[in-house]
Structure 1
């Protein structure tokens, strides 16, 4: 089976890796370098802690196992895979009650979540007086561009090919089934299946393939400090982060997220706003993120920022990714719309897409087991334009 994967970000690389490892004939096409879109603008989160029980958490739990397996196969240093764990902290007793109720639901779904009364025992540099939190030992981090490159190189070792070019349209046969894609230079890449892994541009690529999706850009900023000695041990974020992730608001929302990197810098987020593809630097967002981080970790008041970067999360209206075959165009599969969770969910997405392509269950990745992710859910709820 010939498979064309459109998109060389972390999700496209994972799809190519799993499909090529299964013996499929894979070509990955992207108009830019590996990881040049949303992947290169993210923090590399591999999180269970921020997901409600349901299909996304199921995908995250499978991905967490597959990230460990990828680390064993490719070498953890090639991914900068760190099983650092996450610490979610509450600022008030009321927030702590809500956080622990949320954690109890996750525990019932198979997530390891440990109540913590003295959060400074895990993070000594936290502000004093915080009432408590929840520790998630399964949370991890990778360096997203390195991870995408490593997965794609492994796919190439299994026979996959890569090429640079913009996909302008799909080609179809008389029965309406996809037969390939046409790129901007006029090349037609033949395919029995085409995987739309175009991230924030997944809606537009879907339209070009005859299967449009409503995927919107949601801008976010990340601040980077000067390199420091190890000061932050876990991914640490405030309890309101989960609510902001699930919000439908178009306006600016910020919540405090702080974590260290292997290189010694500290990453500070997170902001969300729907402003189209506007890349304008907004000093007010930088100020809000820095202030929130200093409240959580007072030592940051004396630390220099060296840069701020921004990117666009591929946002779906119901906050779930679109993974699987499109009923409108046989042979088209989607693997996009992951919002800010693409890095964490990439391996399981690749496994599910491969299972669909092979027409069978793959090591627990059953194509029929995640109907909440399939494109037809959006057809029935109005998420896909007619």
Structure 2
């Protein structure tokens, strides 16, 4: 790839995935311009919990991407400042009854066969891991490879770590793509003018479908709305990321109706984050009392101690949903010079490093670290 006065690649989107693409591309020696119509982590990333999970993924392509990302996050935790709040605290999935516990055991067996560390926790040992859990649960599975990060800080520090190889253009909306007479990309048009580069990476998250249409291609990304409740600061009453077994079914579902499942985790700063809700409601940010009531009920059912705690605020985010639940990663065969890095739904924070690493390999002609065929944007 040529390197001259212009950028080698333009990354559209300054969220976690865009930052990871820029970081690894810059690490490969490329000059990167990152463009966002808002601020760093101003979209879906800023409304995320910061989950870095292997525990919720079926064996297959996404799990392989998650395992690679887990290794890369470990490396990044040593390279970036401690302020990103990286915590390899592990996850705990719990079941309310014996059929649910049996299903968790079966799921864990299949994940172990795929290389995931998963430890069955009988009912009488759950309180060793989480002393404040409700009594009467049937058992669970502990995933020590699960972790958490503060997504907005991690995004900012990724962009900063690459130094002057990354140039940020914030508050600048992309309005069109520039093409050469033969149809290949040569840059983008923004509200402030033209920016030239031979490659463009679509890391626009839930808005990735809109950006793809500027190139004349279809990428059926849709926003899947979710709410998070944030409590007042507390002593560490929740030690791991704890969630109910029904969460995995909600993630895999394509239902448009409101779905909620209990997902609870503490943070180094003290507040407890309570999720998770999912629904197809477009880009409507209207507060849903029904969703918040369900989140609170699910959290207190698992951790009764939270019943006396104040919820200080809530925030809304839009997960970038693709119908087959796999992200689009790599070159678009329909638009030479365009690469996609979007459609991760609720796993974008966790999968960002592997995504960025793959994109950097694609840009430099290197061999991808795993089979990226299942993520081919052209499958749509």
1:113 aligns with 2:115: no
Alpha-carbon displacement from aligned partner over 1:114-146 (angstroms, at most 9, x marks no partner) = 000021111010001111000000000000000
Residue from 97, 116, 134 that aligns with 2:102 = 97
Retained in 2: the 8 A contact 1:205–1:212? no
Q: Kindly report structure 1 stretches of 4+ aligned residues shifted beyond 4 Å.
A: none
**C-alpha distance in 1, partners of 2:196/2:215?**
13
Please state whether the residue corresponding to 2:261 is helix, strand or coil.
strand
How far apart are the structure 1 equivalents of 2:291 and 2:203? 29
CA distance in 2, matches of 1:103, 1:211: 39
> Out of 155, 161, 169, which is 1:154 matched to?
161
Distance (whole Å) between structure 1 residues aligned to residue 376 and residue 109 of structure 2: 28
Q: Which residue of 1 aligns with 2:137?
A: 130
> What is the rounded CA distance, in whole Å, between the counterparts of 1:99 and 1:205 in structure 2?
39
1:287, CA displacement in angstroms?
0.7
Aligned residue pairs total 371
The question of 1:88 aligning with 2:90 is answered no
Secondary structure of the 1:354 match is: helix
Map of 2:190 onto structure 1: 183
Cα deviation per residue 1:75-128 (whole Å; 9 max; x = unaligned)? 3x1311000100000011001111111111111111100000021111010001
| Partner Cα separation in structure 1 for residue 135 and residue 76 of structure 2 | 39
- Asked if 1:211 corresponds to 2:207, the answer is no
Distance 1:220 1:80 in 2: 23
Give the secondary structure class of the aligned counterpart of 2:165.
coil
Residue 342 of structure 2 corresponds to residue 336 of structure 1: yes
**1:247 is matched with which residue?**
253
Q: 1:8 aligns with which of 14, 20, 25?
A: 14
Deviations 1:19-54 (A, max 9, x none): 001101110000111000000001000000000111
Q: Per-residue deviation at 1:203?
A: 0.3
Q: CA deviation at 1:212?
A: 2.8
Q: Please tell me whether the aligned partners of residues 78 and 150 of structure 1 are also in contact (alpha carbons under 8 angstroms).
A: no
Equivalent residue in structure 1 for 2:360, among 354, 360, 385: 354
User: Is the 8 Å Cα contact of residues 130 and 239 (structure 2) preserved in structure 1?
Assistant: yes
- Does the 8 Å CA contact 1:255/1:289 hold for their aligned counterparts? yes
Distance 1:280 1:316 in 2: 23
Q: Of 291, 302, 309, which aligns to 1:285?
A: 291
2:378 paired residue among 376, 379, 383 = 376
> Of 37, 53, 64, which aligns to 2:70?
64
Q: Which of 299, 321, 328 lines up with 1:322 in the alignment?
A: 328
Task: Specify the alignment match of 1:300 in structure 2.
Answer: 306
1:187-217, Cα deviation, whole Å (9 max, x unpaired): 1111111000000100001111232311000
- Distance (whole Å) between structure 1 residues aligned to residue 303 and residue 129 of structure 2: 13
> With structure 1 as the length reference, what TM-score do the two structures score?
0.95
**What residue ranges of structure 1 are gaps of 5+ in the alignment?**
379-386
Deviations 1:163-187 (A, max 9, x none): 12111111111211111100022x1
Contact persistence 1:268–1:289 (CA under 8 A): yes
Aligned to 1:383: none
C-alpha separation in 2, matches of 1:18 and 1:268: 32
Q: Distance in 2 between matches of 1:300 and 1:261?
A: 15
Contact 1:20–1:158 (8 Å) recurs in 2: no
* Residue 319 of structure 2 corresponds to residue 313 of structure 1: yes
SS at structure 2 position matched to 1:206: helix
Q: Deviations over 1:363-384 (max 9, x none)?
A: xx24xx1211111222xxxxxx
**Alignment RMSD:** 0.9
Contact 1:23 1:158 (C-alpha < 8 Å) held by counterparts: no
Deviation, 1:158, is 5.0
Contact 1:44 1:141 in 2 (8 A): yes
